Amino acid sequence: MANTQKQAYVADLLAQLQENPHLVVVGFTTTSHRKLEDLRSKLRASGEQAPSVIVLKNSLFKIAFAYHNNKAHLIADDQSELLQSNVKGQSVLLLMNDEWMTTLKTLKDFAKDEEGFEFRVGLIDGNVYEDAGL
């Protein structure tokens, strides 16, 4: 049986997935904690409702997303598997509301200057986009 911290993490992630219909997973191999905090502050400054920025535990995210997708029927199973297969390594999850365009622009500008920061996969408007598509 999973420990209570893992259960709480999955439950919190599920609640946030239900509130935010759009998500982006970004890899950060050489990005420091300070740089991630800079990103958070830039995202807060970019719009009224700043996206949630969560450093992922990949396996727990996959469990939460699979459960959420089965309940909400967001995307087909093959698309869900594609999304989950791209969640690997050190990852940050951005959960966004309908103001996702501003968030992606801010994220793109941040990624230009930050080496090792890369788009992995996203779910926007019910479509799964791999790195280049974002």
- The per-residue pLDDT string of the chain (134 residues; one tens digit each, 9 = 90 and over) reads 469 999 999 999 999 999 988 999 999 887 778 888 888 888 888 766 778 888 899 999 999 999 999 988 889 989 999 999 999 999 999 998 887 888 888 888 888 888 878 889 999 999 999 887 76
pLDDT the model gives residue 123: 93
- Distance separating alpha carbons of residues 24 and 83, to the nearest angstrom: 10
128 alpha-carbon distance from chain centroid:
12
Model-level pTM? 0.86
Give the span between the Cα atoms of 4 and 1, in whole angstroms. Answer: 9
Rounded to 5 degrees, what angle do the CA atoms 91, 45, 21 make? Answer: 50
121 with 87: CB under 8 angstroms? yes
Residue 30 confidence (pLDDT): 79
